[in-house]
A and B are shown apart, each in its own frame.
Chain A
Amino acid sequence: DQQVKQNSPSLSVQEGRISILNCDYTNSMFDYFLWYKKYPAEGPTFLISISSIKDKNEDGRFTVFLNKSAKHLSLHIVPSQPGDSAVYFCAASAPTGNQFYFGTGTSLTVIP
């Protein structure tokens, strides 16, 4: 049972434009969400997070939006840069749980 879903396996964007990566979840108990970035042959690295008490969190070029009623979050990268090309995973956790649930990832390619 995939509780966190990333329905787009890949995304291509021109350099300088906006990248929008989407994530849906099914468990209404999730209250903390994170985005990780992963390069080939490396471990995932933390990018940005948001708690359920907020609907937006911004860090430089990266903004995460949370729509609790739709159980949907998105990561916006603007402007996109070639170095942003990587696989992006969203993850979620519940207050009573011991684990983070990860999506299957979206491979972003930023075209120079």
Chain B
Amino acid sequence: NAGVMQNPRHLVRRRGQEARLRCSPMKGHSHVYWYRQLPEEGLKFMVYLQKENIIDESGMPKERFSAEFPKEGPSILRIQQVVRGDSAAYFCASSPRQGMGEKLFFGSGTQLSVL
């Protein structure tokens, strides 16, 4: 029973390039969350998606960042025109449903480095 799969594990981009981070939730999970961890900080919520719907994107920067969770395939976090401040670990988590008592299952993360 595979866990949450994220790829790539490491991604290096130059300033101005695009970064695409992929996340396949656990089997049977239809809720996906993206979190970002900056150096010396905790996990910051970015976006919560269900299949084909963005439920809460209150943690997403207003520009350059977007997320999707299509009917088929993984969830994608896309960062356009990356800047050095985007360097961070990006974690995806999934859950079978949302509500009291549910916990998040995390992937191993993608470490984004912007040169």
Contacts and interface: CB of A to CB of B under 8 A. Distances in A.
A104 interface: yes
Interface string B89-115: 001010000101101111111000000
Interface in B32-80: 33, 35, 40-45, 48, 55-56, 58-59
A42 interface: yes
A44 B106 contact: yes
Contact of A99 (B6, B33, B40, B107): B33
B82 interface: no
A26 to B, nearest CB: 14
A68 to B, nearest CB: 15
Contact of B103 (A34, A89, A95, A105): A34
B45 A95 contact: no
Interface string A33-75: 0101000011111100101000000000000000000000000
Contact of B42 (A34, A41, A51, A89): A89
Nearest to A42: B108
Nearest to B91: A43
Contacts of B103: 34, 46, 49
A51 B48 contact: no
Interface string A83-102: 00000010100010011111
B100 A102 contact: no
B45 to A, nearest CB: 4
Interface string A1-16: 0101010000000000
5 contacts: A34-B103, A41-B109, A43-B109, A98-B98, A100-B45
Interface of B: 4, 6, 33, 35, 40-45, 48, 55-56, 58-59, 91, 93, 98, 100-101, 103-109
7 pairs of A and B residues whose beta carbons are closest in the complex: A43-B106, A98-B56, A104-B42, A102-B43, A99-B45, A102-B42, A98-B48
Given A43-B6, A98-B98, 10 more contacts: A4-B42, A34-B103, A43-B108, A45-B106, A51-B100, A89-B42, A98-B56, A100-B45, A102-B43, A105-B42
